[in-house]
Amino acid sequence: MEPAPCWLAGLRFDNRALRALPVEAPPPGPEGAQSAPRPVPGACFTRVRPTPLRQPRLVALSEPALALLGLGAPPAREAEAEAEAALFFSGNALLPGAEPAAHCYCGHQFGQFAGQLGDGAAMYLGEVCTATGERWELQLKGAGPTPFSRQADGRKVLRSSIREFLCSEAMFHLGVPTTRAGACVTSESTVVRDVFYDGNPKYEQCTVVLRIASTFIRFGSFEIFKSADEHTGRAGPSVGRNDIRVQLLDYVISSFYPEIQAAHASDRVQRNAAFFREVTRRTAWMVAEWQCVGFCHGVLNTDNMSILGLTIDYGPFGFLDRYDPDHVCNASDNTGRYAYSKQPEVCKWNLQKLAEALQPELPLELGEAILAEEFDAEFQRHYMQKMRRKLGLVRLELEEDKALVSKLLETMHLTGADFTNTFFLLSSFPVELESPGLAEFLARLMEQCASLEELRLAFRPQMDPRQLSMMLMLAQSNPQLFALMGTRAGIARELERVEQQSRLEQLSMAELQSRNQGHWADWLQAYRARLDKDLEGAGDAAAWQAERVRVMHASNPKYVLRNYIAQNAIEAAERGDFSEVRRVLKLLENPYHCEAGAATDPEATEANGADSRQRSYSSKPPLWAAELCVT
C-alpha cells in the first residue's frame, strides 16, 4: 500500500496521453520484465515502475515551478514537507492517480539516424490538472531502467541532475521557452560513472529530477515510423504504422495547438501544414533566444527538440564566457557540429527531419516550402528584435542595425570579451560625446576582455606535437584515408590553436590592451552614432535615456548559470551541503538588474565563509573555470 501524501495530496491526475495514444501491452513474465531492453513496436508508451532509492533526501525545490501545479509553498513543518517531496519525487512512492510510463521515440544523433531511443532515463508520471484549467505533465528523470535504457541503468547522478535542475529554472527566469524542474532528490544509492570516459570510473549518488512541461513529445516521437535509413540501416520500431502517426498528430494538435485544430477541422493537410508552420516559428524563436543569452545546448539531436518549441533535455550545456562563435560546450562533440554559431542551422536541419517524418500526412514539398519561407525570416526577425533591446535601440528599426550587431560580436571575439558582462555593461555607456564618465566606462570594458593568461590557456594546443605532425603527414601521403578518419575539422582547429599560441607568445600585455582599446573605440563610435539617430525626434531626451536603460536592464542578465557556478554548487552538494544549490537557485530567479527600490540583489545577502574559489557570480569567471569539461 502506497503512503498517503499530505502537502502533495491536492495534485489531481488525468492522464490523457495514455488514453489517446497506443500503450504497449505488459510483457509476460516477472515484474522486472517490464523494464527489460527491447524494441517497442506499435506503441507510443510502455508502462514502467520507478526503481526505489536508498534513503532519498531533498536537494532543493523550485517553488515557482511547483506553483504551476497549484502547490503553494511547503508547509511550516519544513522537515516533513521535504521528506514527503523526497519520497514521492524520487519515485519511491507514487502519488494517487500517477501512471508511470516510458515514451518511445527515435532520433538523428549527430546527424545519423540512431533508430529506437526512447525514455531510457526518464518516466512519464502522469498529467496534473489544476484548478485554473491548466494541464502539466510530470516526469521523473533518473528513476531507473525502462525498455529504452539499452545497456544503461536508467539512473542520473548528482552533478548532472543539479545542472539540469538549475538550468531549467534559470532559462525560465531569463525568459527563454523551456521545460521546468520542480525538485531535485538525491540518495544513498550509487552507480559507477566514468565521467570523462578516460578509464577512471567512480561511485556517484543516484539523483532524480522532477521535470514539468505541457508535454515532452519531441521531433523524434514522429520518427518511430521511419523505414531503414540509407546510411545507418536502422529503422524505427513502428515502420508502416501510419495509423499511429495520424493518432499522434491528432493528439498533439488538438491538445497543444487547439486554435489550429479549430481553424482547419475539415482539411487535415492544411491543419498539418499550419501545425508545422507554428512549430517552425516557435523553434526559430527559441534558438534566437538562445543566441541572445549566449546559451549552448550541446546535444541538438532530433530527440532533444520539443514539439512545442521548448528547450528540453539539459545535458552538457553551457553559457558563453569569453565570446567565441565556435564555442563547443560538449567535450564529446569532436567535430563541433553543435557549436554556438551553428545552433540555428542545426535547428533548421532538425525541422527538415521532422518534415520528412510527417509524410504522408504532410506532403514533403509543402513542409519544405514552409521551412524555407518561415525559419530564417522568423529567426532573424526575433534575433534582431532582441538585439536592439539589448543595445537600447528603443525607437527605430534600421537595416544598418544588423551590421552594428555583427561588428559588436566581431569586436567581442577579437578582444575575448565576456558575453554576458559586456552586454550588461553597455547600459552604463555615457551617451554624451564629451562625457567625463567615458574613460571610466572604457576601463571597465577593458576588464571584461581576456587577459594574456586567459588567451594562452584558451588557445593551448590539445594534441601532442608528434601526433599532429603524423596526422599532417598522413593528410599529404594518403588524403583518402585521412578523410575517412573524420579528423579534418579537429586538425584545422589544432593548427589554429598552434598559430594563435605563437602570436600570443610575442604579444605584451600593453600591446594587447592598446589593441583592445582600438577595437572598442571604433565600435563605440558607431554605437554612439546609432544612439544619436534613435534620440532624434524623441522629444524628451531624459525620458528616452530612462527608457533605454530600463529596456537594457530588462534584456541583459547580470547572472547566468555559468559552468563554474554550477560546479561550486555540485561540489558542495557532493559534500552533503545543499545550501549552495538553493542559494544559486534563488540568485537565478532574479537574473536581471535590480532597479532602485526593487527587491534586494540576491548576492547582497551572500552567505559568510564562502569557499575561497567563490567570487561574486556576476564577475568574470576565475581562470580555473576554463578547465571545466562537460561531456
Would you say residue 52 has pLDDT above 90?
yes
Residue 598 to residue 138: CA distance in whole angstroms: 34
Helix (H, G, I), strand (E, B) or coil at 286: helix
Residue 137 to residue 128: CA distance in whole angstroms: 6
Beta strands in 7-154 (DSSP E): 12-13, 23-24, 45-47, 57-61, 101-103, 106-109, 112-116, 122-129, 135-141
Residue 534 to residue 519: CA distance in whole angstroms: 23
pLDDT-derived band at 492 (thresholds 50, 70, 90) equals confident
Q: Computed from CA positions of residues 543, 548, 549, 555, in that sequence, does the dihedral angle turn out positive or negative?
A: positive
Mean residue pLDDT of the chain comes to 93
Task: Give one word for 336, left, alpha or beta, with left for phi > 0 and alpha for psi -120 to 50.
Answer: left
Tell me, what's the pLDDT at 602?
Answer: 57
**Catalytically annotated residues:** 303
Would you say residue 446 has pLDDT above 50?
yes
Beta strands in 324-415 (DSSP E): none
Residue 157 to residue 204: CA distance in whole angstroms: 6
In this structure, are residues 13 and 149 in contact, taking their beta carbons and an 8 Å threshold?
no
Mean pLDDT, range 555-568, rounded to an integer: 97
Tell me, what's the pLDDT at 436?
Answer: 80
Residue 97 to residue 303: CA distance in whole angstroms: 28
Residue 282 to residue 338: CA distance in whole angstroms: 19
Would you say residue 582 has pLDDT above 60?
yes
Tell me, what's the pLDDT at 601?
Answer: 59
DSSP 438-495: HHHHHHHHHHTSPPHHHHHHHT---S-HHHHHHHHHHHHH-HHHHHHTT-HHHHHHHH
Residue 282 to residue 460: CA distance in whole angstroms: 39
For residue 68, give the nearest of 125, 126, 138 by alpha carbon: 138
Per-residue model confidence as pLDDT tens digits over 323-382: 999 999 999 998 899 999 999 999 999 999 999 999 999 999 999 999 999 999 999 999
Tell me, what's the pLDDT at 379?
Answer: 98
Residue 105 to residue 46: CA distance in whole angstroms: 11
**Continuous segment of H or E residues that includes residue 409:** helix 401-415
Would you say residue 1 has pLDDT above 60?
yes
Residue 383 to residue 305: CA distance in whole angstroms: 19
Q: What is the pTM of this model?
A: 0.94
Pairing of strands 23-24, 45-47: parallel
Q: How many helices (H) and strands (E) does the chain have?
A: 20, 14
In this structure, are residues 207 and 191 in contact, taking their beta carbons and an 8 Å threshold?
no
In this structure, are residues 452 and 504 in contact, taking their beta carbons and an 8 Å threshold?
yes
pLDDT-derived band at 604 (thresholds 50, 70, 90) equals low
Residue 322, beta-bridge partner list: 418
What cell numbers appear for 600 in the block? Answer: 534586494
What cell numbers appear for 308 in the block? Answer: 512545442
Domain assignments of the chain as residue spans, ordered by start: 17-28+39-239, 456-504
Residue 185 to residue 187: CA distance in whole angstroms: 7
What cell numbers appear for 233 in the block? Answer: 540501416
Distance between start and end Cα atoms, the chain: 41
Per-residue model confidence as pLDDT tens digits over 230-283: 999 999 999 999 999 999 999 999 999 999 999 999 999 999 999 999 999 999
Would you say residue 136 has pLDDT above 70?
yes
